[in-house]
Amino acid sequence: MSILSRLFGRQEKPQAFIEINNTFSSFSGTGYNSAAFRAAVDAIGRHTAKLQAHSGDKGLETLLAQSPNAYMSGYDLLYKTAAAYFTNNNAFMLLQRDSGGRITAIYPITPQSVEFRPGSDGALYLECLFPDGRQVTFAYSDIIHLRRHFLTNDLLGDSNAPLFPLLDTAETLNQGISASVKNGTSIRGVLKFTSLVNPAQVKAEKEQFVSDYFNPGNSGGIAATDQRFDFVPANITPYNVPKEQIEAVNRQIYDYLGVGASIINGTYTENEFSAFYESIVEPFALQLSQEFRLKSGAEITFTAERMEFSSADTKIKLLHEAAPLGLITVNEARKLLALPPVDDGDRRLQSLNYVSADKADAYQLEESEVLDDGKTQS
């Protein structure tokens, strides 16, 4: 009942309607809560997880390739590390050692916060606070620490705070889409009663009207009413978020992470993947290799077999040009074509049409001498 009705003792004719709430909440949390951000991080994680470790320490190499710990594979370890690296600009892995100092397991750790503390022994320690409230201290010499946007802090990568306004915009656009869909389907019209009825009767009449006419069985699209109420169609024009706005915001998020939309949805060309690999995967692999060498003491390199991800045409062209020169072995060629190795396949084959440069020089010199002798005799 309105204020006017209370003042003059008159009752308004009730209407059945639904109030629409168009208020949007702002973005909160890390970038990983954003669908566009998470899609980009997932694409990066999937490709960096293909990196393979090559080391003189075969125990460490096997550990990284197969099962770095009892709970995950080598792929899982690299994926989780890359996801943390691009989400938090810091990624940590714990090297677990036995009494002899040999690395026996590698665990990714994702603390809620970290603090560096010098120890009484002069070493540096990392104090980690985890989401469940546990606080654990590790020797920094046992921590693989990767950093991104490494500038203002002496030991940690900077936050993604510059991206948060853009993530806030993306969240608002997503809420706008959701609200548009809900508003477009929830309000069809208003039942305006021509006589006074109690609230329970209003609710019952509305539910019966919706049941009778707003269902798939009403294929004729016609509703019938009597003098008790009038159906007034709602003149609601839902706001449609322009597709261009969504694509522009998502593209800026992708640009911040250095990945294109084609990499995310798997429609990339070889040139696009090559650019992505050189600008994103290779720097990550280089940092990972250097940090492992520093903390493990072993010579180790992380690389990816880039040609394995090329098109069939490119692979065939490479084999056609490289094999006759003796650049690859039979099994290397078979691996490139996703074929199993064969016995005696670790040998290189070379066309007889090619000779070494020194033999070519000797041959040319011999031919020249023969020609000179022929001219002298004549």
pLDDT of residue 12: 45
Lowest mean pLDDT among 193-197, 250-254, 330-334: 193-197
Distances (CA, A) of 179 to 172, 246, 285, 322, 357: 10, 15, 43, 58, 73
**CA pair distance 360, 371, nearest whole angstrom:** 17
pLDDT at position 7 over 60:
no
CA 202 and chain centroid, separation: 51
pLDDT at position 160 over 50:
yes
Averaged pLDDT, 295-310: 80
Q: What's 329's DSSP letter?
A: B
pLDDT band at residue 253 using 50, 70 and 90 as cut-offs: very high
pLDDT of residue 11: 47
Better-predicted residue by pLDDT, 373 or 335: 335
Query: Which residue ranges make up each domain of the chain?
Result: 3-23+165-233, 31-158+236-306, 310-378
Task: Assign 173 to helix, strand or coil.
Answer: helix
Better-predicted residue by pLDDT, 231 or 299: 299
Instruction: Quote the strand ranges of 78-236, DSSP E.
Output: 90-97, 103-109, 113-118, 124-129, 135-139, 143-147, 189-193, 229-233
Taking phi over 0 as left and psi of -120 to 50 as alpha, with beta for the rest, 151 belongs to alpha
pLDDT of residue 146: 96
**Across the chain, what does the average pLDDT equal?**
79
Identify residue 199 by its one-letter amino acid code: P
pLDDT at position 36 over 50:
yes
List, for residues 303-328, the tens digit of each pLDDT value.
876 566 566 777 787 777 777 777 77
pLDDT at position 136 over 60:
yes
Averaged pLDDT, 2-30: 40
Averaged pLDDT, 79-95: 95
- Name the percent of the chain lying above pLDDT 70: 67
